[in-house]
Amino acid sequence: MIALAACSTSSTRAPVIERLPGKTSAQPAAKSIEPDWRPASYTVQKGDTLYSIALEHGHDYKDLADWNGIPAPYTIRIGQMLRMGPAQTETTAPLKSVPTLAAKPLPLAEPTLKTEPKAIKQAYSEQALAQLEKAREKPAPIATPKIESAKVEPPKPAVTPEPANPNTADEEEKVDWGWPAEGKILANFNDNGNAKGIDIGGSLGQPVLASAAGKVVHTGSTLRGYGKLIIIKHNKSYFSVYAHNNQVLVREGQTVVKGQKIAEMGSSDTDRVKLHFEIRRLGTPVDPLKYLPNDRAP
């Protein structure tokens, strides 16, 4: 069963860091890029929903539904095997077999039997000499049929794809992150516990901002422990999560820019007004403080 507890009730309060003018660069996420760990398939467990599986594996739930032919309201069952990516298509056409051209055998020439002249003694005469000369004449050569060989073109070699640009993976890791809200940090990230992100305290109705540019892939109250939720996809690797909102101001499929107001802070499905914020790489929660800029407003 996948645990989806969104936040922690830790009372640890991080010191407020004043905003430093002109400093907006984020800390480097990591020096080494971890490979994609996600499996090609997944077996549905008790407590799973299509939304939770998509979040835990870093996919848009609508893509996951399309890959498996699951219509709304996206009902799944325990033990169901889900494809975790699009179906693979055949990219290389099979080589056509080259027909073998078999030459027809030449017709056998009928043997020429010499029956004239017979080996008998005849008296010399002009007629007998003429018959002898005629028998010595060579027969006309037998015409040999000409066989034209069909022109068979050799199969074209398979086209070797160009090597991938080594900078592509690095580009996917680049996201211009910013703080999603102002306020004190109420709980820090803990990858060994249930704190999959950070909690930022604030007041009811306070603006919640998009941490980076991207596309809204999910809104609603579909995940237990998150309240009114927003999930933004930034690229193939990164998603960000905004939980416990009072009002959601964006819709699924909408493109947002960094710093755009996407919600108002609230206390949905939690004990106090706060924003629970997560950054996920390939579905795995990572510490947001390693990605967000050092400066932030109190």
Among residues 35, 61, 59, 58, the alpha carbon closest in space to that of 50 is found at: 61
Q: Are 186 and 10 in contact (CB under 8 A)?
A: yes
Please state the rounded mean pLDDT for residues 7-22. Answer: 42
CA distances 52 to 85, 159, 197, 267, 281, Å, are 16, 41, 16, 21, 15
Of all residues in the chain, the percent with pLDDT exceeding 90 is 52
> For residue 31, what pLDDT band results from cuts at 50, 70 and 90?
very low
Residue 67 lies in a domain: no
Q: Per the confidence metrics, is the pTM higher than 0.85?
A: no
CA separation for the pair 230, 109 (Å, rounded): 91
Beta carbons within 8 Å of 63's beta carbon, 6+ residues apart: 54
Question: Maximum CA pair distance of the chain?
Answer: 144
Q: Any idea what DSSP says for residue 21?
A: T
Identify which has the larger pLDDT, 262 or 173. 262
**Core vs surface per residue 202-217: b (16+ CB within 10 A) or e:** beeebbbbbbbbbebb
Domain count, the chain: 1
Residue 249 lies in a domain: yes
CA dihedral 239, 245, 249, 252 (to 10 degrees): 40
197-243: per-residue pLDDT in tens? Answer: 999 999 999 999 999 999 999 999 999 999 999 999 999 999 999 99
Identify which has the larger pLDDT, 34 or 139. 34
Q: 244 is in which domain, residue-wise? A: 173-290
Q: What is the CATH number of the domain that holds 190?
A: 2.70.70.10
Confidence check: pLDDT of 165 > 60: no
Mean pLDDT of the chain: 78
Please state the rounded mean pLDDT for residues 157-166. Answer: 51
Confidence check: pLDDT of 11 > 70: no
Confidence check: pLDDT of 98 > 60: no
120-129: per-residue pLDDT in tens? Answer: 566 667 776 7
Residue 65 lies in a domain: no
**Res 16: pLDDT:** 46
State the sign of the Cα–Cα–Cα–Cα dihedral 203, 29, 2, 213.
positive
